[in-house]
Amino acid sequence: MTPEHHSPTGTDPGLVPPPGCPAHDRGPGGLRRLYGPDAENLGSLYEQLREEHGPVAPVLLHDDVPMWVVLGHAENLHMVRTPSQFCRDSRIWTPLLDGLVKPDHPLMPHIAWQPIAAHVEGDEHLRLRGAVNGAISTIDPRGIRRHINRHTQRLVNRFCEEGTADLVSQFSEHLPMAVMCEVLGMPDEYNDRIVQAARDMLRGTETAIASNAYIMDALGRLTTRRRARPEEDFTSYLITHPARLTDDEVREHLRLVLIAAYEATANLLANVLRMVLTDPRFRAQLNGGQMTVPEAVEQSLWDEPPFSTIFAYFAKQDTELGGQRIRRGDGLLFGIAPGNVDPRVRPDLSAHMKGNRSHLAFGGGPHECPGQDIGRAIADTGVDALLMRLPDVELDCPEDELAWTESMSSRHLAELPVRFAPKPPQEVTLTPGRLPVPPPRNSWQVGTHQPEPAPVGRPAAVPLPQPGPAPQPSPAPEPVRPRGAWRRFLRWWRGY
């Protein structure tokens, strides 16, 4: 939207609401701010915006920069699936071009354009996205689940003898990083420091720049090693892909994959665990076998998506969306959380979604999350393994005392204290690897197993030859061949 007109709905910026009016504390043009004291409960604010403006609403970002927020489920899908009208290239954003967005704007790390697959279009997008997709396709689903289970056991070993734990700081913030370090090919880099660095840079603290430098240094060393000596991991496949990514492109995409997967999955793990521990419907269904952990994961992706909004999409031309006139250069927030509770698709928010995957948690269109199945695997395998180790785990505080930290981009569970009967640690020594593939059978056999031939190099014992002609043994009767299942079925079918 154009900077000279802060109200795309036609409100005169010069008209100031009188004192006592509900809109008195709003920004220019009476627009609501998505930051500050009036935005402490964004879920409630989104519903007020939906009631006032419909599925697409005008809002203000920090420094009163104008923006649209897309609240409707269908409108969000149209935006992300129509690259001819909307893109993620912030270089066409009108407020940025006109100097309204300063270099030190708090949201600049989210909005600033980078030469990565998430921001480019056309042939360049196909090249970079093709390399990422190709590398992800080499990940063995069963192998990654073994890694998830092994790291879950290791993390639980750290606190299982205590009888109490915080499943946010001691589990959900660690498991995704441990698994992603394995996937990328840098298991030795996983430690408390890299977890703290990832959390620090995402929270935008004073040390965020130093934390980012720490992670980029680790990824730079990994790129150098794999460029010289590729191995069987994501980074090596990214480097050797026919797209021929440069070292800078490799590092930036490793950072994108690592941080996006880490942030999303850490939130998802915490939210699923909270749901299982606090909602009696889910715990009872899980214990009774009526609901699987993957179904609980999908329900959490509807109710508490890891990212609330995505910064941002930009209009490539004048268009219309949700009844609003969108001008070329306008910015739009991809509203995942408000879109997931759109009353047109979820009239009853208490209804169980039964594994429905049409939520917006992983986006859609050309920029849909390519690693969503990895995130799901970490969440459902990790939660399942934790519940197997600690079947009596319970919340260690009243549910209404759970605290959250919320921003426009995400909503984090601060702590999840639990208690359980102390358990002994389990042995976790072997590193999951690729198991040897058994040789193919010459033919299928149904029924009684036949003896295997003696292995090569260890011949069966035979009597030594004796001098003179050997006596001819009398012919023995042919042994009765055991009937297999198929032969028994045929005899039954023929009435024998």
- Residue 79, classified by CB atoms within 10 Å of its CB into exposed (0-12), middle (13-18) or buried (19+), is buried
For position 204, what pLDDT does the model report? 60
Encoding tokens for residue 134? 């190709």
Question: pLDDT digits over 298-357, tens only?
Answer: 999 999 999 999 989 999 999 999 999 999 999 999 999 999 999 999 999 988 898 899
Q: What is the pLDDT of residue 483?
A: 52
Evaluate the CA torsion angle 380, 334, 202, 64 in order and state its sign. Answer: negative
Q: Which residue, 279, 333, 332, is CA-closest to 303?
A: 279
Residue 434: the pLDDT is: 47
Torsion of CA 191, 194, 197, 199, to 10 degrees: -80
pLDDT in tens, the chain (496 residues): 433 333 343 333 333 344 444 444 577 778 999 988 878 889 999 999 999 999 999 999 989 999 999 999 999 999 999 999 999 999 999 999 999 998 888 888 778 898 899 999 999 999 999 999 999 999 999 999 999 999 999 999 999 999 999 999 999 999 999 999 999 999 999 998 999 888 887 766 677 788 888 999 999 999 999 999 999 999 999 999 999 999 999 999 999 999 888 989 999 999 999 999 988 777 777 667 677 888 899 999 999 999 999 989 999 999 999 999 999 999 999 999 999 999 999 999 988 898 899 999 999 999 999 999 999 999 999 999 999 999 999 999 999 999 998 888 888 899 999 999 999 999 886 555 544 444 544 443 434 444 445 444 444 444 444 555 555 555 545 444 455 565 555 555 444 4
Give 366's DSSP letter. Answer: G
pLDDT tens digit string along 168-186? 999 999 999 999 999 999 9
pLDDT of residue 444: 39
Question: Which residues pair with residue 332 across a beta bridge?
Answer: 68, 313
At 229, is the secondary structure helix, strand, or coil? coil
> Tell me, what's the pLDDT at 323?
96
Q: Please report, as a single letter, which amino acid is at residue 389.
A: R
* Residue 142, number of CB atoms within 10 A of its CB: 10
The DSSP 8-state label assigned to residue 327 in this structure reads: -
**Rounded distance, CA 321 to CA 488, Å?**
67
The DSSP result for 34-99, as a single string, is SSSGGGS-HHHHHHHHHHHH-SEEEEEEGGGEEEEEE--HHHHHHHHT-TTTEES-GGG-HHHHTT
